[in-house]
Chain A
Amino acid sequence: MNALEVSDLSFAYGPREALRHLNFSLEPGRFAALLGPNGAGKSTLIALLTRLYDLQHGDIRVGGNSLRQAPRPALKQLGVVFQQSTLDLDLSVEQNLRYHAALHGLSRRQTGIRVDAELTRQALTERRHERVRELNGGHRRRVEIARALLHEPRLLLLDEASAGLDPASRLALNQHIRNLCREHHISVLWATHLLDEVQAGDDLLILHLGRLVASGQASELSLEYGADLGSVFTRLTTLATTGVAR
């Protein structure tokens, strides 16, 4: 069963179409990069995936559960790291995690176990009582990842999670997520506009003007277009998109 399936997804802000007939899926344990320039429709897609916006046309299935028909089991399988930090700066690391566990209905016992496990996994155990305000950007991101994984989702969604981090932290974060994906068989959808965050073996989804203009393994797309990823991306996102490119 796919971790994520998006079928015939369209969305419009009044008369302006933001997403047009998107179709793609993500297999369990895969790292997929969602790439697109500003205005491509990434934020709208994230808003739909996280139920911030209601579906207008098409469907999204998370772990086989339709967001339209069974939102509760679908959202249970989804962990999210938003572009802008959504942590409570005045609360401690542990208090932030416990709040999230409560939102997912975890019992006190489960919460204790899961908080300990995620803090250990993210190497944050010693910082559990520190206020989030006192942490640097990289550590805050780690707290958000710990929070997103607290309820053991099958799919981790990261919306420009490396934004605002210095290059070393950005690389470390990207590597960290890849390790999680590999070692714990979590599917990852990594939305970004930075090509250097994509590796040859990643699944790649290129979004432009609301359309999915390319999808497939990054290395295969390079071969198909006979160019490096940067050139492929530039070509696909500067062409007038009258239809899906492939």
Chain B
Amino acid sequence: MNAYWQCFSGIVLREWLRFVLQRTRFLSALVRPLLWLLVFAAGFRAALGIAIIEPYDTYIPYEVYIIPGLACMILLFNGMQGSLSMVYDREMGSMRVLLTSPLPRTFLLCSKLLATSLISLLQVYAFLAIAWVYGVQPPAMGLLIALPALLLVALMLSALGLLLSNAIRQLENFAGVMNFVIFPLFFLSSALYPLWKMREANEWLYWLCAVNPFTHAVELVRFALYERFNPLALAVCGGLTVMFTLLAVLTFNPQHAALRKAG
């Protein structure tokens, strides 16, 4: 058991060191949601009125509405980027070193997913801190309650990223991931607009948003930030995290990539 703990803490420490040493990566991950918050939301608030919806008790400005979506956006980008790099690295580089560990591959991959998710949380909380200064201030207890929700979402998205990267060779570049995964997941969700607004516009789009796992991720975080519990979002995110992780670990095999190239 001790060997497993040593291994896991070593993987987390490495991710932490890389995070600390690569400050530009950290800053660039913050720029994206901050642009949305400071520019997009400011311009959009006039165009979009938000009715009183759960979990909010009153009318809210648009900036307040999009904070959970932007927090999840950080996790979405990090999850996809991290998983993609795991696939790039699997035949050479750091993943090769990871896989020579005598510990089970399933444990190594799960540790890696968890470690990158934990580091992503630091970025999310840095973003929430800036948003707090900007004036978007969820309850302090909500920030604490949101922690496990954000971790679950981070794991779900990282596992989804790894699964997609394993399964779809065409996604071996980030542009492909942006166009075919990140943008559809993000825009077809409740991150930027409440679902009832979408329903007013188009019933089909509404249903696409309603079944999108990212919608449930955003709602889980939104409710947690305001000290509310969303059982449906938790069930969907929890179930999908388990399913994506299992499938990602089962399909993670560098040999498959080599065989695909040969075939």
Identify the A interface with B (CB < 8 A). Answer: 13-14, 16, 47, 50-54, 71-76, 78, 80, 82, 84, 86, 88, 90-91, 95, 98-108
Assuming the A-B contacts A13-B258, A102-B7, are A88 and B102 also in contact, with contact meaning beta carbons closer than 8 angstroms in the complex?
Answer: no
Distance from B114 Cβ to chain A, minimum over Cβ atoms (Å)? 14
B17 cross-chain contacts in A, Cβ below 8 A: 90-91, 95
B94 cross-chain contacts in A, Cβ below 8 A: 86, 88
Q: B6: CB under 8 A from chain A?
A: yes
Sample of 11 A–B contacts (CB below 8 Å)? A16-B262, A47-B254, A82-B92, A91-B21, A101-B6, A101-B10, A103-B97, A103-B101, A103-B103, A104-B101, A105-B7
Assuming the A-B contacts A50-B96, A53-B254, A91-B21, are A73 and B102 also in contact, with contact meaning beta carbons closer than 8 angstroms in the complex?
Answer: yes
B22 cross-chain contacts in A, Cβ below 8 A: 90
Assuming the A-B contacts A50-B96, A90-B18, are A76 and B102 also in contact, with contact meaning beta carbons closer than 8 angstroms in the complex?
Answer: yes
* Separation of A13 and B262 alpha carbons in the complex (Å): 6
Top 9 nearest A-B pairs by Cβ distance?
A102-B10, A105-B3, A13-B262, A103-B101, A75-B102, A53-B255, A14-B263, A72-B102, A90-B21
- Residue on A nearest B101 in the bound complex, by CB: A103
Q: Are A78 and B100 in contact (CB under 8 A)?
A: yes
Q: B4: CB under 8 A from chain A?
A: yes
Identify the B interface with A (CB < 8 A). Answer: 2-4, 6-7, 9-11, 13-14, 17-18, 21-22, 90-94, 96-104, 108, 253-255, 258-259, 261-263
Q: Are A53 and B102 in contact (CB under 8 A)?
A: no
Q: Are A105 and B97 in contact (CB under 8 A)?
A: no
Q: Are A50 and B100 in contact (CB under 8 A)?
A: yes
Assuming the A-B contacts A13-B263, A82-B92, A86-B97, are A105 and B18 also in contact, with contact meaning beta carbons closer than 8 angstroms in the complex?
Answer: no
Assuming the A-B contacts A53-B254, A84-B92, are A98 and B100 also in contact, with contact meaning beta carbons closer than 8 angstroms in the complex?
Answer: no
B259 cross-chain contacts in A, Cβ below 8 A: 13-14
A88 cross-chain contacts in B, Cβ below 8 A: 14, 18, 94
Looking at B93, B100, B254, the one whose CB has the most chain A CB atoms below 10 A away is B100
- Residue on B nearest A77 in the bound complex, by CB: B102
Q: Are A54 and B96 in contact (CB under 8 A)?
A: no
Assuming the A-B contacts A52-B254, A101-B10, are A86 and B99 also in contact, with contact meaning beta carbons closer than 8 angstroms in the complex?
Answer: no
A13 cross-chain contacts in B, Cβ below 8 A: 258-259, 261-263
- Residue on A nearest B253 in the bound complex, by CB: A54
Distance from A212 Cβ to chain B, minimum over Cβ atoms (Å)? 21
A95 cross-chain contacts in B, Cβ below 8 A: 14, 17
Distance from A41 Cβ to chain B, minimum over Cβ atoms (Å)? 13
In the complex, besides A53-B255, A90-B21, A102-B10, 16 extra interface pairs with C-beta distance below 8 angstroms are: A13-B258, A13-B263, A14-B263, A47-B258, A51-B99, A73-B102, A82-B97, A84-B93, A95-B14, A98-B13, A100-B97, A101-B10, A102-B6, A103-B7, A103-B108, A105-B2
* Separation of A86 and B262 alpha carbons in the complex (Å): 24
- Residue on B nearest A76 in the bound complex, by CB: B102
* Separation of A210 and B201 alpha carbons in the complex (Å): 62
A71 cross-chain contacts in B, Cβ below 8 A: 102
Distance from A159 Cβ to chain B, minimum over Cβ atoms (Å)? 10
* Separation of A47 and B259 alpha carbons in the complex (Å): 13
A107 cross-chain contacts in B, Cβ below 8 A: 2, 6
- Residue on A nearest B90 in the bound complex, by CB: A52
Q: Which of B2, B93, B261 contacts A86 (CB 8 A)?
A: B93
Q: Are A50 and B99 in contact (CB under 8 A)?
A: yes
* Separation of A105 and B96 alpha carbons in the complex (Å): 17
B18 cross-chain contacts in A, Cβ below 8 A: 88, 90-91
- Residue on A nearest B8 in the bound complex, by CB: A102
Distance from A112 Cβ to chain B, minimum over Cβ atoms (Å)? 13
- Residue on B nearest A51 in the bound complex, by CB: B99
